[in-house]
A = this chain, B = another copy of it.
Amino acid sequence: MTTKYRLMIPGPTPTPPQVAVAGALPLVDERIPRFALLFAELLDRLRLVFGTPEDVLVFASSTTGAMESAIANLFSPGDRILVVENGFFAARWSAIARAYGVDVVVQAQPWGTTVDSAAVARALAADPSIRAAVCVHCETSTGAVSDLAAFGAATADVLSIVDAASSLGACPVRAGENGLDVVVSGCQKALMTPPGLSFVALSGRAWRAQEEARLPRFYFDWRTMKDALDHHGATPFTPAVGLIVQLDVALRQLLQEGLEAVFARHVRLGRAVRAAVTTLGLSPLAGDDDAHAVVTAALLPPGVPAGPLAATLLDEHGVQVTTGNAGFADRLIRIGHCGYVDRYDVVVAIAALEMALARAGHPVSPGAAVAAAQEAYGGAGLSTQVPA
């Protein structure tokens, strides 16, 4: 028998069996009434996950497309924005903005830190020409999950843009309560669906900014999308109907488990992974905080490069984790624990990591990290809820 393949990265994540099977159903066209009904209900469920009663748009694209849509729909050439760069994915926002001729003020922070919202507030106060501030909720390159209530408060007078690519469905976003104007995300992480759908949740202030923005856009034009939704209950261009049907199943499962229970499960999974890697002598880059519930980026001991370690895990144990981004490429392994993941997925990943680290010459006390994960996860219960 071949080794089973186990996906433990921060996206794409494994699909629940019910979501997988929905991918094999006969395709339906988006123009039939039962699809329109499904899509309308799906948008309502997405609103619950984003925590907003306002508009959520769905695009056929990676999350990067939704990020680009935020830049192209909100700004005009020469507009100035602030981007908090505390990791690899935050820097992508600056790159997109610059590609569109938007002036970027970077708030550079060390990798592994959370967003310094007090510094954001100071920067905005010091430069009234800044029209918007951008941050990443869960910086997938470091595992750091930031406080969106603080970011929303600091950005009350400008447009606030949040990248919730890996956090949506794993951590509370509460777009409405936190006063966030634009939140983007995708389907392939905590929403447990194969990649190819991206989302944008929008406030009324975002819509007003959209009306004045002069940057060119067509495929990602929010107004075109909203008009098609409002008048035809459909998207203006062929939607990824197969993925939408799968996402519908996934969202029903999430809401049946209950969003608060889902968030609590992710907190406990994060505790388990951090306790385990710490026991192994690795160090969570973002520190030990319950907020960091999506992915753990663990600094490796000197002499244990990430590439060969990840290759051993995949080739010999079938466990796929990933390495670090950019300058941290060989210094980090990143273990995803978001989406359709329970504590025994963590147990497998940690058991394999014990073996791979030992193979790499690192001192390992067999079973100790697995035990630490079990201990940190806490009492049984939440993780064993099986959706109907």
Contacts and interface: CB of A to CB of B under 8 A. Distances in A.
A195 B239 contact: yes
Interface stretch (A175-183, A240-248, A357-365): A240-248
Contacts of A320: 29, 32
Nearest to A239: B195
A57 interface: no
B32 A26 contact: no
A59 B68 CA distance: 15
Given A27-B194, A194-B243, A218 B68 contact: yes
A299 to B, nearest CB: 21
Nearest to A8: B29
B322 A31 contact: yes
B32 A14 contact: no
Please state the number of chain copies in the assembly. 2
A11 interface: yes
Interface residues of A, number: 57
A321 to B, nearest CB: 10
With a 10 A CB-CB cut-off, give which of A20, A29, A186 has the most chain B CB atoms: A29
Nearest to A17: B24
A217 interface: yes
A104 to B, nearest CB: 13
Interface string A182-195: 00001010000011
A237 interface: yes
Given A60-B195, A62-B60, A26 B31 contact: no
A377 to B, nearest CB: 24
Contact of A240 (B64, B194, B220): B194
A144 to B, nearest CB: 20
Interface stretch (A93-101, A123-131, A199-207, A347-355): A93-101
Interface string A215-243: 11111110000000000000001111111
Contact of A7 (B29, B95, B196, B242): B29
A114 interface: no
Contacts of A188: 238
6 contacts: A7-B28, A11-B238, A20-B24, A63-B237, A65-B237, A242-B243
Interface of A: 5, 7, 9, 11-15, 20-21, 23-29, 31-32, 59-65, 67-68, 72, 95-96, 99-101, 186, 188, 194-197, 215-221, 237-243, 314, 320, 322
Given A29-B322, A60-B60, A64-B237, 18 more contacts: A5-B28, A13-B27, A20-B24, A23-B23, A24-B24, A29-B320, A32-B320, A59-B61, A61-B219, A62-B239, A64-B238, A72-B216, A100-B216, A101-B216, A194-B241, A195-B239, A219-B220, A242-B243
